[in-house]
Each structure stands twice: as C-alpha cells, then as structure tokens.
Amino acid sequence: MRPVETVSWFDAIVFCNELTVKTMITADCAYYSDAQFTKIYTMKDAGNFVAPFYDNIKKGYRLPTEAEWEFVARGGDAHGPVWNFAFSGTQADENQLECDSLYPSSIDANLGEHGWYRENSMGVTHEVGTKLPNSLGLYDMSGGVWEWLYDWYDNAVYTENVLNPQGAQKGTDRVLRGGSWYDEAYACCVTRRFHNAHPYIPHFYFGFRYCRSI
C-alpha cells in the first residue's frame, strides 16, 4: 500500500474523525466545529474551510503535533544514540549533510536505505515498509510524502526551552515535516520544517500520518 497523497490538511482532519467513528465511538472524536466541542467536525465543515477545534482530552485519531512528530522521527529518546541522526533511522554519509543554496548536493546512500527521495524514487511514491524503519519501527518518516501536522507554523517554537511545545495558537500556515519523494535529501532531515499557507489545497507530494493518545 502506498502512502496517501494529494490530500489537503482539511481532508486529513476529516479522515481522522471518520476513522474514529468507524473504529471507536463518535464521542472519542478529537476535532469539532465549535469551541464547546459539541459538533463533530465533518466533510461539510472542511468544504467551507472551517478551522477545527481540537479537544486534547479525547482519545480519537488525530494529526500529530509538530513536537510529537519530531520526537518519534528522532527515535523517542533525547539521550539515545540516534537522536542526532540527520534522517529518521540513519546518519548522513560521514555524519555530514551538504547543502549548497544554489546547487544542492545531497545524494546520500544512507538515506537511500531508509527513505524515498529524489535520487531513488524515480518520480513516484512507493509501497510503505519497503525501506528500513527507524529505531521505533516507523517507516518513511524521512522521504515518502510531506506529512501534514496539526500545528500552526511558528518560527519561535524551537527557540524556547519548553517540554513538548504545542505550537502557535493562531497563524496563517500549517506545518509539514519529513520531506518527500520529490525532494533532495536535505529536505528529508528530521529537523527540516516546511509550512504551507493554503492548507485547503492538496499537492501531489503532501500526505499525512495519523496517531491517537492512549
């Protein structure tokens, strides 16, 4: 099975609620169209570009926050041996990642073992699980497709020493992480941040990864 792609941020929000309804109960849904959490967010809301409200005590399926995504992409242990790897699951060649702003040079054999990116994708997505996973057993967190996250984009998030930062309370852009089959290796770094001011527009290299609280 290939990763979902050509999907908007709003589409991903609706999918999470619909999966929750099908596999759990409606009351477990994480996303609502009102601040009182009484109206489940639906496809109609997404079609009208209504910004969802997130009920963080619910256990239903949802998009990861940016901090959650990076934590698991980097191996889940800030003191572990893989935390500072350039990509999810592997170091860059000789622990160096070369990127020239005019002439990107980032062919990386190690990333090729763990993810699909421009140098090995042949211009298409590929089956999930055909590359090596990271230390938590997760596949394609570097490369594959850019993954929509719940957060608004905020330049200041990672300048603050905060445990599990929750992102900005408002903004114009939504965050994506992970790089894609369309990108050079440097875009697939676990620390690389990307944002999009038009979350209602799907792109051919945008997808998502869902999660839920337990």
pLDDT tens string 88-102 = 999 988 777 666 555
d(CA 75, CA 59) in angstroms, rounded, equals 23
SS3 196: strand
Contact 198, 165 (CB under 8 A): no
pLDDT > 70 fraction of the chain, expressed in percent and rounded: 93
Structure confidence at residue 89 (pLDDT): 95
Provide mean pLDDT across the span 8-26.
Answer: 98
Of the given ranges (48-62, 158-172, 200-214), which has the lowest mean pLDDT? 158-172
Question: Which band of pLDDT confidence, cut at 50, 70 and 90, is reported for residue 110?
Answer: confident
Whether residue 76 has pLDDT greater than 80: yes
Structure confidence at residue 169 (pLDDT): 83
Contact 213, 13 (CB under 8 A): no
Count other Cβ atoms within 10 Å, centred on residue 207: 24
Whether residue 154 has pLDDT greater than 80: yes
The reply to whether the predicted model has a pTM over 0.85 is yes
pLDDT digits (tens, 9 = 90+) for 32-74: 999 999 999 999 999 999 999 999 999 999 999 999 999 999 9
Structure confidence at residue 108 (pLDDT): 75
Structure confidence at residue 111 (pLDDT): 93
Whether residue 6 has pLDDT greater than 90: yes
Placement of tokens 């003191």 in the chain: 79
pLDDT > 90 fraction of the chain, expressed in percent and rounded: 80
